[in-house]
Every structure is written in structure tokens, then in C-alpha cells.
């Protein structure tokens, strides 16, 4: 994998993660003020359940993107690492 391709993939995954984190932030704001909004208890319960499921789904998606980024970086490091035995042969 070339360096420009890796940078592009990392930027895209970071953008997706930041978008999901921003969504989590706004869900948190809504959940913070939900008890103080003048809606019925049934509606508050439904909204809380829906937002809770959304938080769980977004958290799994962020974890999947994070694992994908780690795997890409690990593969890039393995393909670009220099074998240390080559350097030690010439030193002795």
C-alpha cells in the first residue's frame, strides 16, 4: 500500500469517526435536556430508548473504524519496515 493511499484512507476513516463523535455529542446534549422538555413521559421514554440504541450503534461503528485504521497502520508498518539483520551483517 502506498503512502498517499494510506493517508487518504486514514483521512476518510478519521472523518467518519469525527462525524460519528459529533453525532454522539449532540445525542448527549439532547439526553441532558430531555427531562426538562415539556413532553409526556411516554414520549420521553421512547426518545430515550431510540437515542440509546443510536448510541450503541454509533459506538460499534466507531470501534469498527478504529480497528480498521489500526490494521491499516500495522500493515503499512510491516511493508515499510527494514529488516534489522541487514544492518547488523555489515557492522560485524
Quick one: cell of 5?
Answer: 493511499
How many domains does the structure of the chain reveal?
1
* Residue 38, pLDDT score: 83
Residue 23 maps to a domain: no
**62 part of a folded domain:** yes
Domain that holds residue 67: 40-79
Q: What is the mean pLDDT of residues 61-75?
A: 80
Residue 80, pLDDT score: 67
CA 10, 11, 17, 20 torsion: positive or negative?
A: negative
Q: Is 89 inside any structural domain?
A: no
45 assigned to some structural domain: yes
Q: For residue 18, give Cα distances in angstroms to 26, 29, 42.
A: 12, 17, 32
The grid coordinates listed for 50 are 431510540
pTM here is 0.61
4 in any annotated domain: no
Amino acid at each position: 500500500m502506498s503512502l498517499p493511499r494510506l493517508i487518504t484512507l486514514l483521512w476518510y476513516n478519521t472523518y467518519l469517526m469525527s462525524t460519528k463523535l459529533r453525532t454522539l455529542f449532540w445525542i448527549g446534549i439532547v439526553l441532558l435536556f430531555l427531562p426538562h422538555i415539556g413532553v409526556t413521559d411516554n414520549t420521553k421514554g421512547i426518545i430515550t430508548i431510540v437515542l440509546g440504541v443510536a448510541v450503541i450503534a454509533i459506538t460499534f461503528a466507531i470501534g469498527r473504524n478504529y480497528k480498521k485504521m489500526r490494521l491499516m497502520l500495522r500493515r503499512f508498518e510491516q511493508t515499510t519496515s527494514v529488516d534489522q539483520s541487514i544492518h547488523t551483517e555489515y557492522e560485524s
